[in-house]
A = this chain, B = another copy of it.
Amino acid sequence: MISVVLLGAGNVATHLYKAFSKAENVSVVQWYNRTHSSILSYVNEVDTTDNLEELKEADIYILAVSDDSIAQLSQDLPFENRLITHTSGSVAMHDLDKKNKISVFYPLQTFSAAADINITEVPICIEVYEKENRQILKDLAKAIGCKSHKISTEQRQSIHLAAVFLNNFTNQLYRIGHEICESNNLEFDIMKPLILETARKIQNMSPYMAQTGPAKRNDKKTIKRHLKQIESEEHKAIYKLLTASIKKTHKYNLPINSGQKKRNKQ
């Protein structure tokens, strides 16, 4: 049985709490939050506190708080030599106060309050300062059904950067698609199967192989018509930049004289 004290009440903390309380081999001995009202609805199932001085003994203290609060909270902990871990993709492990044993337990996923998650599909990136603390963090990941990965600080920061492209920026493209639909009296719902299939497709195929469309085909006629169609200057700039990026990626893949052949066909 791994005993855990959870600190913080944001989306990551809440999803972790739910996973831990379902797990057979994990006991959440206490849940701390600076603002007690945020965890008030859990008082009947777990010991809660807003006072760091009251923190109980546990195998692992999980600091699932905002990036900016991690360092300070680790300094404020009123004990030493215990295993503490943060859950951030971008904060350095060494930002944690070294009076305790420091580590990182980073669940690589997008967490929203409103969206349920299958936690077993979330990869956990583990980083430790002292080797001997790795196993218990691996066991904790395993206890909630997650795969864990040994990741360096640099790698974790690269993962976090990649996640911005794959999650935040992708979501902004969804937003732009939403805007295009709205301004043409189209329900965005009609686009949802395409969005899902685009993500599904690269589960078993490289993004390079999965690419299709006018930019990859270097279909100048369609690209020109699209640029004429786009009303927003901002969308136009994004269209141009990503079209250029696709062309660059696939440049050696164009059939020889494809431009010539297309002109002949018309």
Measured CB to CB, the residues of A under 8 A from B are: 67-69, 72, 90, 108-110, 112, 114-115, 117, 121-123, 125, 149, 151, 154-155, 157-159, 161-178, 180-181, 183-186, 188, 190-216, 219, 222, 225-226, 229-230, 234-235, 237-239, 241-242, 244-246, 248-249, 262, 265-266
Contact = CB atoms under 8 A, between A and B. Distances in A.
Q: Name the 10 nearest CB pairs between A and B, nearest first.
A: A199-B199, A168-B213, A174-B207, A158-B184, A175-B207, A162-B177, A162-B180, A166-B177, A169-B242, A121-B193
Given A162-B177, A165-B173, 18 more contacts: A68-B265, A108-B190, A149-B190, A161-B226, A162-B180, A162-B191, A164-B213, A165-B239, A166-B173, A168-B242, A168-B246, A172-B207, A172-B249, A174-B207, A175-B207, A192-B202, A195-B202, A196-B203
- The A interface is mostly helix, strand or loop, or mixed, namely helix
Given A68-B262, A159-B186, A109 B193 contact: yes
User: So how many copies of this chain end up in the complex?
Assistant: 2
A213 to B, nearest CB: 4
A262 B170 CA distance: 27
B201 A112 contact: yes
Given A205-B114, A226-B164, A262-B68, A211 B169 contact: no
